[in-house]
Amino acid sequence: MDDIERLGWYQFGPRGYLVGEAAKRLSGTNGRPIWIYDRCACIVLYGPVQLRTTSSDMRATERSFAFRLSDGQDFPSFLKPVFAKHFFGKAKCAKCKLTITGLQTRALTAFDTVKSTYLTCSCGYPGWFLESDLHTAAECAMNRAQISWLRTTRMKAAGGKHSPQEIKDILSIQDNRCFYCNCLFTDVQRPSKDHLLPLTQGGPAWALNIVMACRSCNSSRGNLPFRTYCKLLSPTANKRILAQLRKRLLRLDIDNLPEEVRSSFERGIALHNTQHYRYREGARKSERKNAAKNRLLPRTIKLLLGKQRP
């Protein structure tokens, strides 16, 4: 391990191969370098874990990679099930060829000029190989786990709460249809919660900040401001959305709404950003005609209700 710990970027050749005596000692019986950075490494962050994957020939049957853990950070719990399913017993150590069986870490200067914490084999080496298709599946699983973790983290930080009955009431007001495209919810087309004030901007989980949308519309909107997204929808959809918002507000005692509930709702319906990349992408396609026709939806409760205010 002394040779491995001394390895640094300066010891890599022009195309990333290990060079010199260190490379010979770290090569397999066929002379293949144990770790290759040919051209560059693709680096992706999953919480405190950094995945470094070589950008080798995509036609290769194996991918080489390493996991670096941020100093002082524990291995994140949201990734542990992914590792158990996709890496344990499958990924092989690039030095001794044993499969990974646990989350063993060690501080090394293996691929940096400074000592860092890496996920290592029991032999102490931080480089791994995995079949390309299994590596792709593992990365997809890590991405899904991180998205779920980020959403849960943001929801906890944003606060707010709602009951199952409140969600049923929302679905009833929407006639069990998507708030945006009006498709009917079924066992196959399941509803999902969409925040008027996005989670990425601190949107809390109060019922008034939630509408029920199909997964396609929810994904299409993403964190695009509510009024901006509605500009891309059809004029008919805008009229229906406005009617449903009024219907929900008329069922409430507006004057006695808690301030945090009222403020989050009004922030959600007031935001507008035509420079958002999702809006620009939509405005370049069929939605640009809708954007030209539609007026922005009202941006306050008072304007939403108009003369219908009780």
Residue 10 and residue 252: Cα distance in Å, rounded?
67
Angle at 164 between CA 215 and CA 195, to 5 degrees: 40
List pLDDT tens digits, range 204-249: 999 999 999 999 999 999 999 999 999 999 999 999 999 999 999 9
Instruction: Count the residues in the chain.
Output: 310
E strands present in the chain: 41-46, 49-54, 62-69, 92-93, 105-108, 116-119, 128-131, 191-195, 210-214
Indicate the residue among 151, 176, 205 that finishes a domain.
Answer: 151
Ordered DSSP codes for 153-175: HHHHHH-----HHHHHHHHHHTT
Place of tokens 């400074």: 114
Classify 90 in phi/psi space as left (phi over 0), alpha (psi -120 to 50) or beta: alpha
pLDDT on residue 242: 95
What DSSP designation does 190 have?
A: -
> Does residue 130 contact residue 138 with C-beta atoms inside 8 Å?
yes
What DSSP designation does 101 have?
A: -
Shared domain check, 279 and 221: yes
Residue 38 and residue 142: Cα distance in Å, rounded?
24
* Environment class of 10 (CB within 10 Å of its CB; exposed 0-12, middle 13-18, buried 19+): exposed
Shared domain check, 141 and 169: no
Structural domain total, the chain: 2
> Which tokens is 144 given?
């899904």
Shared domain check, 185 and 101: no
Shared domain check, 281 and 234: yes
Which is higher by pLDDT, 229 or 307?
A: 229
Residue 219 and residue 213: Cα distance in Å, rounded?
9
Q: Report the chain's mean pLDDT, rounded to a whole number.
A: 82
Indicate the residue among 151, 172, 194 that finishes a domain.
Answer: 151
pLDDT on residue 110: 63
Q: Provide the whole-model pTM.
A: 0.70
Domain of 99, in residue numbers: 2-151
> Is the confidence at residue 24, as pLDDT, over 60?
no
* Neighbour count for residue 114 (Cβ, 10 Å): 7
Shared domain check, 143 and 195: no
Shared domain check, 144 and 9: yes
Shared domain check, 200 and 141: no
> Is the confidence at residue 152, as pLDDT, over 80?
yes
